[in-house]
Structure 1
């Protein structure tokens, strides 16, 4: 049986940490940043951790 391929779209958007959590870059940081406060930009710049069903689905897509 051949090896399963990693879903390339999912691998570009999410990363599995060493402890098994799924991290991804949040939204709202692509454009119109001049209208957002420095505090809001700082909060949005942090990576988000997925939980529940979304994390489980991404684990399957990333073959980990």
Structure 2
């Protein structure tokens, strides 16, 4: 059977934390920023976590456990 390959698009978008959670970047921060408040734009800079329901599929694409 061939080796499992890492899905490179997924690998560029997600990182694993030390405890096994998956970090992701927040959406809505690339354009149409004029109407968004500074506080909202600041919060887009922080990483979010992937929802528990999506973790299994993403870990599979990353080739982790």
1:16 maps to 16
CA shift for structure 1 position 44: 1.6
Normalised to the residue count of structure 1, the TM-score between the two structures is 0.86
Greater helix content: 1
The 4+ residue runs of structure 1 with deviation greater than 2 A are: none
Q: Deviations over 1:12-50 (max 9, x none)?
A: 111111211101111100112222111001112211101
- Any gaps of 5 or more consecutive residues in structure 2? none
RMSD across aligned positions (CA): 1.2
- Any gaps of 5 or more consecutive residues in structure 1? none
Aligned length: 64
2:58 maps to 58
